[in-house]
Amino acid sequence: MYNEVVHFRRNLFKLPTGRAGKEFINELTFWLRQFNSVTKLNGISIRIFMILPSLLLQKPSARSKAKDYAIALERRLASWRKGQVEELLKEAKTIQRQFKASNKPRRQEDLAKTFAKLVMEGKVSSAMKLLDKANNAGLLYLNDEVITELKDKHPEPEPATDHNLLQGPTNEVPSFFNPIDEQTVMKAALNTRGSAGPSGMDADLYR
């Protein structure tokens, strides 16, 4: 399932305010805690964290509104907690098929408007990606060509020699993590831009 979901086209709605949005955040938080703890769920936690947005935040349709998002999220959260994962995956795949079937090449005028909107919002990186990948999104499938390209970009490392290694006793380095508190984390989170990774969430959704 993970290998299917991470290749979905990005089609996530913004997290609604209110109970549904808070419950979704609590669910993501739960799985992050499993990842940072020694529990029986640790091994699957980060994968679940990555696929939850694509399973629960798929826009029902191109014309759906904020109210529809809250209703859909509440229903999907209830299904998730009942263990109805296959049903959620089936719904997400159906939406993705409809999304692809109705997807037409973007007009230059629409592309220009979206580009201008992103620039005005300060999302320059996203605007540049829009020009570069106007009709492309998601992760690459691993095939022979992709693997060859990756090997060319990441050649085998040179063997280590004594000249490259630290010799003799080393001084103990004080911890740099002590000054990190809630305010530091919040400030860093508010300054994030763009998106990366298989979850499909961008910096706005994470904030």
Contact 120, 111 (CB under 8 A): no
Per-residue tokens: 147:
């693997």
Is the pLDDT assigned to residue 57 strictly greater than 90? yes
**Paired strand residues for 12:** 58
What is the reported pLDDT for 72? 94
Report percent pLDDT > 70 for the chain. Answer: 89
Contact 95, 60 (CB under 8 A): yes
CA-angle at 80, arms to 76 and 84, nearest 5°: 100
Query: CA 135, CA 203: separation in Å to the nearest integer?
Result: 21
Query: CA 36, CA 52: separation in Å to the nearest integer?
Result: 18
Q: Per residue in 164-193, pLDDT tens?
A: 887 877 777 777 788 889 999 889 888 887
pLDDT band at 42 (very low <50, low <70, confident <90, very high): very high
CB atoms within 10 A of CB 49: 19
What is the reported pLDDT for 100? 60
Average pLDDT, the chain: 84
Per-residue tokens: 114:
């979206």
